[in-house]
């Protein structure tokens, strides 16, 4: 059943545009393929926030400030789930600038990962590029140029994506004239779910279960016969292959020094099998690879553990949330949809037992 919001326009935006029929994603006025891997993440932030404002210096400073806050976060960074940790740590921020929140998400995500691995968090380098610094805070060493470029390309590709669930959550909170941190915390909660940001980990679990390209067809058939969903396939808006899948697949290919070619071959076999079988079973509903499919491969190749995939997604998407927060505050109108009541009318409702009875 549709929830009544399909296709409903709830805001005007300068941030991004998604054309699901054509498979076109425009971010800050550019096609995603001309942005990701081409324009550095900091400039993408500038495009999203203020038509090309310079953010590298304030973003680096914000990472440094966020790191200073780590000792005050209590249990937040020892929570078992990375998105719970992010929600609990971001909720304590008092720096409510766009750069402040964006810098903090990367620092907190990296610190959570280090903490769960029994390692001390690593201080950011405010001079470094945001994506490269994220990898350095995770792994301890400065990344290779190729790895830094791939991380940067990923961040740019997923920075914003129309009125997706987490962005809508952020805008609803902003529309009540609440603060930016509350808006971002709501968005983190929405992103946590596996139908939104939680799919790339399960994509790798699936690849592990399939094991070899020649097993892909049989594995997909069994999964679909058991009424399971193939992770990384299908999209609410796209009726063609998600354009970000192509961008990220290219980024994985270019990472040949780090990526495992056999893994890429396995992923392509599973994608082809899933696409073909889903087309047979659902001829009226095109179900093709979405962003999560090649996100999984890319983040794995960058040495990022599965549990950190969704927090890493949040590191980029927070830029979009912040832009939407500002737009919604500027618009200044409460978002208040309606629900269609399908319960009984008072005259037909069963009698309630009185307190005495």
Show which residues are catalytic. 235, 292
Query: Cβ of residue 341: shortest distance to ligand COA, in angstroms?
Result: 23
**Which CB sits closer to ligand COA, 3 or 257?**
3
CB atoms within 10 A of CB 254: 15
Number of alpha carbons in the 13 Å side-chain half-sphere of residue 223: 20
Alpha carbon separation from 160 to 7, 44, 155, 198, 229 (Å, rounded): 18, 10, 10, 16, 25
Q: How far is the CB of 166 from ligand COA (least distance, A)?
A: 11
CA 203/CA 77 separation, integer angstroms: 25
- Nearest partner of 158 among 314, 322, 324, judged by Cα: 314
Interface residue with ligand COA, options 290, 310, 312, 328 (CB under 6 A): 290
Beta carbons of 151 and 134 less than 8 angstroms apart: yes
Q: Which is nearer to ligand COA, 279 or 282 (CB)?
A: 282
Nearest 5 degrees, angle CA 258-CA 195-CA 130? 40
Q: 133 vs 271, which CB is nearer to ligand COA?
A: 271
Residues 158-197 that bind ligand COA (CB under 6 A): 195
Length of the chain: 357
| Residue closer to ligand COA (CB basis): 149 or 207 | 207
> Are the beta carbons of 264 and 293 closer than 8 angstroms?
no
Query: Nearer to ligand COA by C-beta: 67 or 155?
Result: 155
- In degrees, rounded to 5, the angle at the alpha carbon of residue 235 between the alpha carbons of residues 231 and 238 is 140
Cα–Cα distance measured from residue 247 to residue 30, given in angstroms and rounded to the nearest whole number? 14
CB atoms within 10 A of CB 2: 6
Cα–Cα dist 317/159, whole Å = 4
- The nearest distance, CB 196 to ligand COA, in angstroms, is 6
| x/- track of binding to ligand COA for residues 194-213 (CB under 6 A) | -x---x--------------
C-beta separation of 183 from 190 below 8 A: no
Out of 62, 157, 251, 291, point to the residue binding ligand COA (CB under 6 A).
Answer: 291
Contact letters (x/-) for ligand COA, 263-282, by CB under 6 A?
Answer: ---------------x---x
Q: For strand 24-27 and strand 16-19, is the pairing parallel, antiparallel, or unpaired?
A: antiparallel
Total binding residues toward ligand COA, as defined by CB under 6 A: 17
Residue 262 CB, shortest distance to ligand COA, in Å, is: 23
Angle, helices 165-175/180-192, rounded to nearest 10 degrees: 150
Strand, coil or helix: what is 25? strand
Minimum distance between the CB of residue 311 and ligand COA, rounded to whole angstroms? 16
Contacting residue, 251, 287, 296, 314, with ligand COA by CB under 6 A: 287
Residue least distant from ligand COA (Cβ): 234
Q: Which range binds ligand COA by CB under 6 A, 38-46, 116-124, 264-272, 289-297?
A: 289-297
- For ligand COA, the closer of residues 124 and 162 by Cβ is 162
**Minimal distance in Å, beta carbon 17 to ligand COA?**
17
Q: Closer CB to ligand COA, residue 57 or residue 209?
A: 209
Q: Which residues contact 110 (CB under 8 A, 6 or more apart)?
A: 121, 122, 134, 137, 138
Please report how close the Cβ of residue 80 comes to ligand COA at its closest, in angstroms: 22
Considering only residues 215-244, where is the footprint of ligand COA by CB under 6 A?
A: 229-236
Site residues (CB under 6 A) for ligand COA?
195, 199, 229-236, 278, 282, 285, 287, 290-292
């Amino acid at each position: 059943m549709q929830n009544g919001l399909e296709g409903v326009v709830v805001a005007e935006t300068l941030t991004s545009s998604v054309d699901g029929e054509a498979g076109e994603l425009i971010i800050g006025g550019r096609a995603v393929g001309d942005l990701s891997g081409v324009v550095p993440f900091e400039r993408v932030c500038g495009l999203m926030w203020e038509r090309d404002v310079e953010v590298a210096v304030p973003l680096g400073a914000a990472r440094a400030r966020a790191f200073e806050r780590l000792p005050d976060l209590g249990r937040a960074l020892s929570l078992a789930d990375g998105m719970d940790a992010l929600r609990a740590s971001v909720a304590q921020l008092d720096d409510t600038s766009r750069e402040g929140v964006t810098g903090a998400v990367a620092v907190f995500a990296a610190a959570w990962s280090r903490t769960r691995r029994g390692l001390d968090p690593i201080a950011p380098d405010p001079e470094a590029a945001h994506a490269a610094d994220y990898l350095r805070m995770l792994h301890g060493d400065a990344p290779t140029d190729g790895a830094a470029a791939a991380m940067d390309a990923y961040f740019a590709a997923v920075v914003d994506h129309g009125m997706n669930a987490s962005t809508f959550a952020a805008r609803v909170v902003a529309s009540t004239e609440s603060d930016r941190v509350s808006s971002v915390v709501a968005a983190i909660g929405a992103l946590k779910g596996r139908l939104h940001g939680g799919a790339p980990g399960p994509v790798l679990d699936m690849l592990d279960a399939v094991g070899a390209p020649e097993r892909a067809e049989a594995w997909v058939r069994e999964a679909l016969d058991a009424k399971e969903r193939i992770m990384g396939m299908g999209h609410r808006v796209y009726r063609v292959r998600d354009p970000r899948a192509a961008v990220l697949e290219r980024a994985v290919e270019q990472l040949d020094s780090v990526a495992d070619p056999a893994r890429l071959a396995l992923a392509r076999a599973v994608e082809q099998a899933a696409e073909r079988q889903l087309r047979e079973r659902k001829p009226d509903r095109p179900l093709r690879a979405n962003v999560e499919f090649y996100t999984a491969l890319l983040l794995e190749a960058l040495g990022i553990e599965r549990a950190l995939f969704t927090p890493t997604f949040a590191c980029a998407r927070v830029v979009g949330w912040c832009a939407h927060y500002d737009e919604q505050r500027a618009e200044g109108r409460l978002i208040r949809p309606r629900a269609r009541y399908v319960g009984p009318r008072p005259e037909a409702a069963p009698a309630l037992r009185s307190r005495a009875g």
